[in-house]
Structure 1
Amino acid sequence: MTVRIVLVSVLVWGCNKSHNVVKPQVKPLMEAVYASGFVVSDQEYQVYSQADGTLAEVLVREGEAVKKGDAILKIKSIASSARYHQALETYQQALRNKIPVLSELTAFVQSAQSKMQLDSVNLVRFSNLLKANATTRVEFDRAELQYKNSRNDFEAAKSRLTKAQTDLETNAKNAYNQLQIAEEESGNYTVRSDIDGVVLKIMKEQGELLRRSEAVAVIGKPAAFYLKLTIDELDVQRVKVGQPALIKIDALSDKIVKGKITKVYPLVDTRQQSLRVDVAFEENLSELISGMATEVNIMVQQKETALVIPKQLLLPGDSLWILQDNKKQKIKIIRGIETLDEVEITSGITQESILIN
């Protein structure tokens, strides 16, 4: 059953004690949906840890104004430091590997080039000897084949050297990029504000262990507030954007403040069977602090002249006992708007009817 509070005054009902009767009253009546929640700073959000580690330094105080991008705190990440040292070792190893590998392949190229040059000279010599009939065709062909083989060996050695240079450069570049990333992540993470606002709360102390995505601070706008409320899921269809609201904030005594619904969220919380509603204030209140508890009547319907009776007189099946012709009679009625204590009767009785309590 929906519970509602009534922020309008309650009329004292006239009553004939000897006959224990009540007469209906014509009066203003407001039907409202009850909501409860908290005052929230505009754009209020929680700041989360970006890594596992320890809170190295808190750079601001609660209540201090900050600009977008200002440093809030620093987190020392142990795991990130370890990744940095691993990345550094990998990069250094990639650099160390270049020298011996390239030196060896360069030597192969130089050796293959020398052999090719020697075989080239030898081929020219056998060509001249063949022209002078001083050697056989077989010997010339052997010298020519030797030159072709050494030339192919030289080209293959150059290709291996070029490929090795490319691979080693790529490996070293990748290792360097990983080192740069690890260097940025290592040591201290600096957590910054996403908005111009005020630090509302620091949730951790210096030296405390932190987990990634753990809330560490709350930041919001300094002088702009709204209400974050919940209503019963049974009232979802009755609440609309733009409806007026009467607000009672526990910390502000009996003061009643006007507001208006600005957002009705489309998802019901299945655990609490409730729906979130946001309400904006229609006046500025200097006394507001984020987190203050509040109760609200969202005005669904209101009539200036309603025929009203105490709700306790209603019988099951929307009926009433009345006194008619000095006899007790049971009649059917039609209800209109209602509050926790009162109900409008739109048909079945008049202002002159005598109701038996």
Structure 2
Amino acid sequence: MPTYALLILPAFNRVYGESTLRLTRSELAVFGRRALAAEVSDVEERSIGGVPYLTFETGEPLTGADVAALSNLSSVYALFGVEGELLRPLAMRPLDRLSSDLITIQKYAGKTNEHFTKLLLNVTVLASAFPLDGRLSVFDPMCGRGTTLNQALMYGYDATGVDLDSKDFEAYSGFLKTWLKNKRFKHTAEVVPVRRERALAGRRLNVSFAVTKEEFKAGDVQRVSVVNADTLRSREFFKPRSFDVVVTDAPYGVQHGSRGGGGGLSRSPLELIRSALPVWTELLRPGGAIGISWNTYGGSRDDLAAILRDEGLEVQKYPDFEHWVDQAIVRDIMVAVKP
């Protein structure tokens, strides 16, 4: 049986790096079931030449489409065919169409690891009825400073977000406009007030851009829209069935994306998700998927699964993605599909 080896991208975050091989193993299992023609088996961690690899076997050789799909694994650096004691490099063809500094430039306290953000987006899209290499529309209802939005843009998707924090909204707006200007991409960008019944409901960043002038002139643009408002009010800004996937990294019990009825910031991730999920689900297209990462100290897998099922969503039987972040945070992923 053909054998392959994945060389894992070094992680600058030491703690996340300690979990990378195991998380990549789980991510590979999802790709094997949802994105590859070849069946993946015998996945194991091996040291080759003193370097850690993740090796696996397939029932038949990987096709070009299989290699292209695996090129998007969140922590993969290179893919090899194993031939005896030799490694034969396979040509990687990731979806990324923009410079990686879109993901890496921003540095701030509480930023979600970009490798994990990519993993979360990958496994959510793969659960949906839509192809990973399609032109998708991604919604992050608690987008912070836009790590998920930026990864969606890397893949050529359109990206939409909502966030309550005005400082995060201003920081992301300023960053994206500066980045587009420095890259000399043809674009339009504006921040406009949003009013409902003459009252100010929030602010909205609207961006359209293209990598080339020819694409921009032809209308072949990517779009970014971010609203500075309560996530519970998302339905006021977007039409039902507007998005292919909803992907969000729920804040870890410090402050969350809604003030709720009492006026104070919600401190329970599951309380917030329970309140917001009907809104998010209405915005999702049939066949679309919702991917949520959360701090398990704020609620169990069974509790979150029950919330998703109560909303009519089909929770996916995914492998283990739970991993330690720090003494107060153990993070996990759950994905569910809208029938």
TM-score (norm 1): 0.20
Higher relative contact order (CA 8 A, sep 6+): 1
**Structure index of larger Rg:** 1
TM-score (norm 2): 0.20
